[in-house]
Structure 1
Amino acid sequence: MTLDPSALLAGPRGRRLCLEVLLAQGDGPAVQRAAWAVSWAARPFDEHRGTVIAFAGDATSCVEPEVSPAEAAIALGAVRPHIDPAVLDTALAVAVDLAAYWQPPSGEDVLVTTEEVLAALEPVAESVSRDPSISWWTEPVARAAQACVFWESKRSSEEPLRARLSRWRASMEAEETQFATEYAGQDVSGVWWSTPPQDLPRSTRARRGGEPLGLTLVEDSFGWETARVQPVRVPEGEVIEIDGPEAWARLCRRHPLVVTASRRYVWEMTTGRVGDWVQPDWAAVADEAVGVHLTVAGYLTTAGRVVDLGDGGASLLAGWGPDETFWFDTVVPSRSEETWSVDRGASDGRWRRA
């Protein structure tokens, strides 16, 4: 299976990936000009843009540059991208880290939807989709190379998995009722993610000498510098693959859980869409599969995007990491647990075994 360039540009994270590929091309003059142009062209689109403060000289002479999307597109078009695994890894990590579904999209994420900038990103999407190093982006779960990541203070729950799913389902019903009654008509932020229960086992594939993707591909990361990594054996049985918006829509239609009241404010704010919202009922999904896996391609083409369900409303895939699998059955350690930490002294800032 190959990655469709148009599908890549249809997803908010896919568009951001293409932008970050251009901005990851070193520190040459063309890249610097492009970064400058993007920063200022995005500013009018950013609802949380802050204030420019002059610390010296005459503040009245400090005038913000006015850069149009067309000018930003010209600057981006002057960058000649070299696509290689290092560039793609960097761009993917940045695109994931900058995801935020509880607020309006960033100015840059709006800028890349303009006609001019989108056109400038089309050659990048074509180059990325043809690059052989991304073949694994469309692959199903890599069962033989899975590892769980536990952050600095997080510990896995001992509660039975089915009990966790039942508790999650009851909690979702209670939250929906609360928002429909106590908070009816109020703009109150609630839970914004649409993942299975957060305390279920979840894993990503391990690459590059055992480093799991879950260490680097983290949405809105908290800057963790240490983590525990547990290589695991995963259960046999069907794993549902989410490889794009169509797969997510099918899952929502098959096992719909209405979340309009609880998600209305945050999902309307991040997408601009007004209407009914649905997400998968993971307690029901668990009856037909041992896990659900989000491919990297599925993430880039679906995360943060309004997925139309027809008469059933719409849905939003939010809170997942690329290549992440949530398991509805037990995973067991396959090797000893390891401690990993960020090597701040190295130029690449990579994670390494402690």
Structure 2
Amino acid sequence: MTIVEDLLAGPRGRRLCWEVVLGTVGDQPDDDTLFWASYWTSVHRGDGVSLFGPGASEPRPAPSDDDVVTAVEALFDAADPASATLDQVLAALGRAAESAMWWQEPDAEDVLLGTVVPRSLHERIAAAVAAAPGVQALFATAPVPARWTVIPDTSGYGGAVRPAAAVLAEWRRELLDERSHDLGDPVTAPISGTWWTTPPSGLLDTTTERDGRGPLGLWAVEDHTGWERAAVAPAAVDPSARIVVVDDAEDWAALCRAAPIDVTATTRRHDWYRATGRDGAWVVPDWAAIAERYDAVHLTLRGWLRASGTAIPVDADSADGTADSADGTLGSAEGVLHSADGTPASVIAGWTPDTTVWLRDPRPALGPSTMWRWSGEDRGWLPA
């Protein structure tokens, strides 16, 4: 696969391209078409948006699709995405992650990019973005990449380190206990709850860095809570560690096939319907079962760009998995992986791109940490 193909495959890749364009615009075109297109997209689906300031009492009519495409082309022409630096690209990646909210409908910009902008224009934008030195540096990996953990400097973070097996066992018990939701509720009901599919908190996660700018765990965080300081520590990874790699949607589906837990009767049914538009059976990987086979799971940058937030089909016929016996042990998945359309699905949600989550003890040992801070002036992370 080429970088261009990776950028075009999914909504996060397309959004990264658009954020790079916006971050490299020189003279901003004097045109508010995209603002009004986003506003009316939100209004028409009932998001409850409001206008303030001059002109709020007389909003401009919704632009046509042709007007939107013309405005996107004008911004692209005013930008220089092929010159984007690594700092600009990392900031754009952060904005692409912040706009990934898998408990609600895609934001208006994602809707417009996915439904109005033609593929031919996306291809032109992606080709320019892929040529940027910052994008080339983002996709480049060292032969033996160093890994780092990020510890947000927030109150309430930390505490005693619990055994990984205990963390996973508790997560699994709680997840199975969640499966009491009334499936008689309409999928459109305003019900929300747990929506992420990462292994549970309490485990160690690491990301790699790019050219001294700090690990991606600083730059690109889904569902960011606003922290602006963090400790960064190197992790000493055993080169013989067994790491299962998720590099695309099929790799995620394979994890679900190997060890699925049915989560249709949880609030995920409603959250993921809003996020993907799909109503059907849903599964997630059983991380406790995955930990019996692997030391860690790694979601690549490429896998995140291509598949994050999409409904990933999971072929029921090849499932060998888990997870519904009364005693919580691995058992037959018979009767679990079926939906009205015959195929369950899953979602990569809540992940930071390029993350490795360590599922077993002993976890990688951490070296001395250094503090990093977010600089609004520089629009980036800097050593404190």
TM-score bucket (shorter structure) = 0.7 to 0.9
Instruction: Report the TM-score, using the length of structure 1 for normalisation.
Output: 0.87
Structure 1 CA distance, aligned partners of 2:309 and 2:201? 18
Partner of 1:105: 106
Alignment of 1:18-57 (within 5 A): 18-30=17-29, 33=31, 36-46=32-42, 47=45, 48=47, 50-54=49-53
Partner of 1:88: 89
Structure 1 CA distance, aligned partners of 2:174 and 2:343? 22
| 1:277 aligns to 2:307 (yes or no) | no
What do residues 206-262 of structure 1 show as CA deviations (whole Å, max 9, x unaligned)? 333361111111113222121121211124322111111111111111211111111
SS at match of 1:173: helix
Structure 1 CA distance, aligned partners of 2:213 and 2:22? 28
Instruction: Report the TM-score, using the length of structure 2 for normalisation.
Output: 0.81
Q: 1:161 aligns with which of 161, 164, 169?
A: 164
Structure 1 CA distance, aligned partners of 2:103 and 2:143? 31
Structure 2 CA distance, aligned partners of 1:298 and 1:227? 26
| 1:16 aligns to 2:21 (yes or no) | no
Pair 287,98 (structure 1): closer, same or farther in 2 beyond 3 Å: same
Partner of 2:318: none
Partner of 1:254: 258
| 1:268 aligns to 2:273 (yes or no) | yes
Letter in 2 for 1:171: E
Q: 2:314 aligns with which of 309, 318, 325?
A: 309
Mapped contact 1:138–1:295 kept (Cα < 8 A): no
Pair 93,157 (structure 1): closer, same or farther in 2 beyond 3 Å: same
SS at match of 2:181: helix
Letter in 2 for 1:222: T
Alignment of 1:91-170 (within 5 A): 91-131=92-132, 133-134=134-135, 144-151=145-152, 152-153=154-155, 154-155=157-158, 157-170=160-173
Pair 86,228 (structure 1): closer, same or farther in 2 beyond 3 Å: closer
| 1:214 aligns to 2:244 (yes or no) | no
Pair 16,337 (structure 1): closer, same or farther in 2 beyond 3 Å: same
Partner of 1:348: 378
How far apart are 1:157 and its partner, in Å?
A: 4.4
What do residues 162-184 of structure 1 show as CA deviations (whole Å, max 9, x unaligned)? 111111111110011x324xx75
Unaligned 5+ segments in structure 2 are 316-341
Mapped contact 1:141–1:325 kept (Cα < 8 A): no
Structure 2 CA distance, aligned partners of 1:247 and 1:29? 41
Pair 332,29 (structure 1): closer, same or farther in 2 beyond 3 Å: closer
Mapped contact 1:243–1:294 kept (Cα < 8 A): yes
Structure 2 CA distance, aligned partners of 1:201 and 1:249? 23
| 1:63 aligns to 2:62 (yes or no) | no
Partner of 2:69: 73
Mapped contact 1:37–1:71 kept (Cα < 8 A): yes
Q: 1:174 aligns with which of 169, 174, 177?
A: 177
Pair 306,287 (structure 1): closer, same or farther in 2 beyond 3 Å: same
Mapped contact 2:149–2:233 kept (Cα < 8 A): yes
Partner of 2:241: 237
Pair 27,139 (structure 1): closer, same or farther in 2 beyond 3 Å: closer
Mapped contact 2:297–2:356 kept (Cα < 8 A): yes
SS at match of 1:29: coil
Structure 1 CA distance, aligned partners of 2:372 and 2:248? 32
Mapped contact 2:90–2:219 kept (Cα < 8 A): no
Structure 1 CA distance, aligned partners of 2:103 and 2:68? 27
Structure 1 CA distance, aligned partners of 2:33 and 2:92? 18
Partner of 1:294: 299
Mapped contact 2:223–2:350 kept (Cα < 8 A): no
Unaligned 5+ segments in structure 1 are none
Structure 2 CA distance, aligned partners of 1:306 and 1:233? 35
Question: Cα RMSD between the aligned structures?
Answer: 2.5
| 1:322 aligns to 2:353 (yes or no) | yes
Structure 1 CA distance, aligned partners of 2:286 and 2:347? 13
The percent of aligned pairs where both chains have the same amino acid is 35
| 75-84 or 10-19, which deviates more | 75-84
